[in-house]
């Protein structure tokens, strides 16, 4: 899809594709997919409407490109890293923290992702652009599943149906993702949110009988 390589002059224009995606991200987020006009995107990107079609065959493809692109990056935040802690709770917190930080950096994307049901297995099918579930969306779900299964195996989580726990984790995170999106607090809170998310996910909201020192952050 990216065929124009940097040429002479100082820099180049393959950036256009990125510029279109960036503009589309904002516009889709503001107006929703159907409400967004190609012309809006083009204008925001500082180009002509026709130019969009030099990079994407259909309006749909612009959306798909955004979703795939960000989903990939999003997935990377959840993947294992060399310096990840051993302890499951700590591990979870690290990953959730990375994910929330990513969310804060790409708020517009998440507005779109929700519309397209990124986190939701069964959300508004009609809002979706494509009938088939987007590939990356599916892998996102598996990643949650994997995390949870790992937790169960490690004995850190209750041996419930993994599918259910995965949804619970998703739901919990969704709640905080929304907080991140809405609150407008600075990035500083990503780690706090992560800590709280993991804590609630693991121990719930019930009052702890005898709060041992340091037990609750």
Partner DNA sequence: CATGAATGAGTCTTCATTCAT
Partner DNA sequence: GATGAATGAAGACTCATTCAT
In angstroms, what is the minimal distance from the CB of 106 to its own copies? 14
Does 168 sit near DNA (CB under 7 A)? no
Q: Report d(CA 216, CA 60) in Å as an integer.
A: 46
Tokens, residue 123: 């959300």
Residue with tokens 């224009």: 13
- At closest approach, how far in Å is the CB of 217 from DNA? 47
From the CB of 32, what's the least distance to DNA, in Å?
A: 11
Least separation in angstroms between CB 99 and its own copies: 14
User: Are the C-beta atoms of residues 55 and 64 closer than 8 Å to each other?
Assistant: no
Q: Which does 51 bind (CB under 5 to 8 A by kind): its own copies, DNA, none?
A: DNA
Chosen from DNA, its own copies, none, partner binding at 121 (C-beta under 5 to 8 Å by type): its own copies
How many CB atoms are closer than 10 A to CB 107?
Answer: 16
Phi/psi region, residue 174 (left: phi>0; alpha: psi -120 to 50; beta: rest), is alpha
State the binding partner of 175 from its own copies, DNA, none, CB within 5 to 8 A by kind: its own copies
By CB under 7 A, residue 13 contacts DNA = yes
In the bound state with DNA, the residue whose beta carbon lies nearer, of 36 and 108, is 36
Between residue 21 and residue 60, which ones bind DNA under the rule CB under 7 A? 35-39, 47-51, 53-55, 57-60
Can you tell me which of 1, 7, 159, 184 binds DNA, judged by CB under 7 A? 7
Contacts with its own copies by CB under 8 A lie at 28-36, 89, 111-112, 114-115, 117, 120-128, 151, 155-160, 164-165, 167-176, 178-179, 181-182, 196, 200-208, 216
Which of its own copies, DNA, none lies near 213, with the C-beta cut-off 5 to 8 A by kind? none
Count of C-beta atoms within a 10 Å radius of residue 152: 17
Q: Which long-range contacts (CB under 8 A, 24 or more apart) does 176-182 make?
A: 176/100, 177/100, 177/103, 177/110, 177/119, 180/100, 180/103, 180/104, 180/107, 181/103, 181/107, 181/110, 181/111
- Tell me how crowded residue 59 is: count the other CB atoms within 10 A of its CB: 19
Q: Which residues bind DNA (CB under 7 A)?
A: 3-4, 7-9, 13, 16, 35-39, 47-51, 53-55, 57-60
């Amino acid at each position: 899809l990216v065929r124009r390589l940097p040429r002479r002059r100082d820099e180049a224009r393959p950036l256009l594709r990125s510029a279109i995606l960036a503009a589309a991200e904002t516009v889709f987020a503001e107006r929703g997919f159907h409400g967004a006009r190609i012309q809006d995107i083009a204008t925001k990107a500082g180009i002509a409407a026709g130019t969009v079609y030099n990079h994407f065959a259909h309006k749909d493809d612009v959306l798909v490109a955004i979703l795939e692109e960000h989903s990939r990056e999003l997935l990377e935040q959840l993947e294992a890293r060399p310096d990840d802690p051993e302890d499951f709770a700590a591990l979870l917190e690290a990953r959730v923290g990375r994910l929330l930080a990513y969310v804060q950096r790409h708020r517009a994307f998440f507005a779109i992702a929700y519309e397209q049901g990124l986190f939701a297995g069964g959300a508004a099918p009609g809002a979706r652009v494509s009938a088939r579930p987007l590939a990356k969306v599916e892998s996102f779900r598996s990643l949650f599943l994997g995390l949870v299964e790992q937790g169960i195996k490690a004995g850190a989580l209750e041996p419930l149906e993994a599918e259910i726990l995965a949804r619970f984790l998703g739901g919990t995170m969704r709640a905080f993702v929304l907080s991140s999106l809405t609150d407008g607090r600075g990035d500083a809170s990503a780690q706090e949110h992560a800590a709280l998310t993991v804590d609630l996910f693991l121990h719930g909201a019930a009052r702890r009988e005898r709060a041992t020192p340091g037990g609750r952050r």
